[in-house]
């Protein structure tokens, strides 16, 4: 771990707005890191049904699994995944 790594605070009470906000932040970070494919996966998810969000997040986590340089993004997606049951 580098000195720039941050500890991820476990938040388990995100609502739809919080989840979508996190996904937008992750999408922006993916664009900044030249991960166009990941950014595209996360594009247009606002307002999507829960099942679609679950599938998108799982696909994105799997896509990042073999990219150790982007573990921070993977951790953020896992945090979102933990919160998906909060969607109604």
Interatomic CA distance for residues 1 and 27, integer angstroms: 23
Dump pLDDT digits (tens) for 11-64: 889 999 999 999 999 999 999 999 999 999 999 999 999 999 999 999 999 999
The reported pLDDT for the residue numbered 10 is 77
Q: pTM for the full model?
A: 0.86
The reported pLDDT for the residue numbered 6 is 57
Sign of CA dihedral 24, 41, 48, 80: negative
Q: In a 10 Å sphere around its CB, with 0-12 CB exposed, 13-18 middle and 19+ buried, how is residue 64 labelled? A: buried
């Amino acid at each position: 771990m580098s000195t720039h790594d941050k500890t991820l605070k476990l938040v388990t009470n995100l609502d739809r707005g919080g989840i979508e906000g996190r996904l937008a932040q992750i999408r922006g970070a993916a664009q900044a890191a030249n991960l166009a494919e990941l950014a595209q996966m996360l594009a247009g998810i606002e307002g999507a049904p829960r099942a679609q969000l679950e599938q998108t997040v799982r696909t994105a986590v799997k896509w990042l699994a073999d990219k150790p340089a982007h573990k921070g993004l993977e951790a953020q997606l896992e945090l979102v995944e933990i919160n998906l049951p909060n969607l109604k």
